Structure 1
């Protein structure tokens, strides 16, 4: 149903653009590559929404391809995009930095944008969310709301900055809190994630941070069945249960895509690795559950505003 809706919406937006004047800047047409699907309700969906917002704001044609998970298929997709006149391509994941580094010299008229990688050429850019603070504030909420004084992080990989941030935030809120950290070793291994989450809950953990966009939705559903709580990840996930999702650590990919497209259109998009945080208004906490007191919500908002102004986290 979501796939059909997305296709219909995209078609309507494209049809609406017909006959209208095109953007007067550098932006011509935009392409999006995703490793899995745009219908995952988390990371892929947010990238797709960003693409649609670009189409709407700049009145340009947009294209997307799913299942772009190898150098060969990416090369073929870029070739097709180039033939269509695309001059800005988003690779929706860290793997695209290497793919784009390998082929960007062959397409000097295209600017390639990836996530959380290392962009090495003048027409490549990598966008990096500075997610330590995001995890920190999520950890504060988890520790404050835990009744058992046991919270858990279910991460994809050890290198995720939000994991250390969550630990530090939980400890800053409650020095007696115990933080259980487990690694799935993959963004999409739902079976292993569900198994580890079950073990955490059996061990007394009552708030879990499922920090993997490919597995966090089924983990949230599992936690909901147990009547326990989570901190949502990447997108606003309160719609999965206000009594389950205490808040969400949101990376506003769609808003960042529009920002990047605007910079490119104005000839101001820099190559290399660019970082974004709360101060750039593309990272935030989401809605708070009704279970969270207004007093604590006000304190969290105060602390976030302080961080945005000074870069200082609570101690």
Structure 2
């Protein structure tokens, strides 16, 4: 339910069995998470929630979350509540929080504010960004390799997404004759428009589709599955939606990144400003491969990913 205040208390031990566990020593006290919609979307919001679980488990701190945090006024109220709960690290699970935090953070110098894909301007603010170009590149390679019609497509939310150009380049690197269609939904969550666009793609003969929008990719995958065609999953490992449909997934391991950031903060090493992360940071990966993808190709692309992690160079 939106706007509810949730307290996650994990690792509850029976009093006679385990005793009391002390908090990990360091700067970290309690942690808060703000999400614009819900933690139950099974993609982006859920990953943020799982990140809180990892932090709670590792550092033995209390973690709090609030849903429906989609305006500056509600965020301000939530931050005030978090402060009263002894929270000193707050994650804003989206790009909109960077602007909010730049204003609010001045009033809470003892709290560090972390957002995504924004511009952090104050000493106690940090913005995280996934370098998604390479992620899209390797997804495009898989798509082009598996396309029977040599027609692949990206169904993206916005033009600025770096994984779009990455997918395009990766598809052509794998198959110079591949045709790449690109459509934009213009929103992360417009399922109706996304379905209309993916139908149009499939009518044009596109047989492998990359639905690069975490709010609409699940219904798009289900639609493609009905046609017996293929997809590259997005953000999460979506192989559970059908291994004969999902060839692989481009995974952004938000939960692992949140744990990494919490550890840096706990050790007094979290930098302010804008930080970016890629394959070499072990927070971006390709997911489980479909049995339809040959072992030879999987071996090839895994080797290329390893080379990229070591050199920063993508296949030509």
TM range (shorter): over 0.9
In the alignment, which residue of structure 1 is the partner of 2:186? 185
- Aligned pairs for 1:1-315 (under 5 A) are 10-13=8-11, 19-315=20-316
1:18 is displaced (CA, Å) by 8.8
Unaligned runs of 5+ in 2: none
Report the TM-score, using the length of structure 1 for normalisation. Answer: 0.96
Query: Matched residues in 2 for 1:108 and 1:18: separation?
Result: 35
Tell me, in whole angstroms, the C-alpha distance in 2 between the residues paired with 1:18 and 1:176.
64
Contact 1:154 1:184 in 2 (8 A): yes
State the alpha-carbon separation in 1 of the partners of residues 264 and 25 from structure 2.
Answer: 13
CA RMSD of aligned residues (A): 1.7
* 1:152-203: CA deviation from partner (whole Å, max 9, x where unpaired): 1000000000000000000111111100000000111111001100110011
CA separation in 2, counterparts of 1:281 and 1:124?
Answer: 23
C-alpha distance in 2 between matches for 1:216 and 1:279 = 26
Compute the displacement of 1:126 (Å).
Answer: 0.4
SS at match of 1:274: strand
TM-aligned CA deviation for residue 23 of structure 1: 2.1
Q: Deviations over 1:260-307 (max 9, x none)?
A: 000000000000000100000000000100000000000000100010
CA drift of 1:14 comes to: 6.0
Contact 1:33/1:92 (CA < 8 Å) preserved in 2? yes
Shift of 1:15: 6.7
Normalising by structure 2, report the TM-score.
Answer: 0.95
Secondary structure, aligned partner of 2:87: coil
Supply the distance in 1 between the matched residues of 2:98 and 2:47 (Cα, whole angstroms).
19
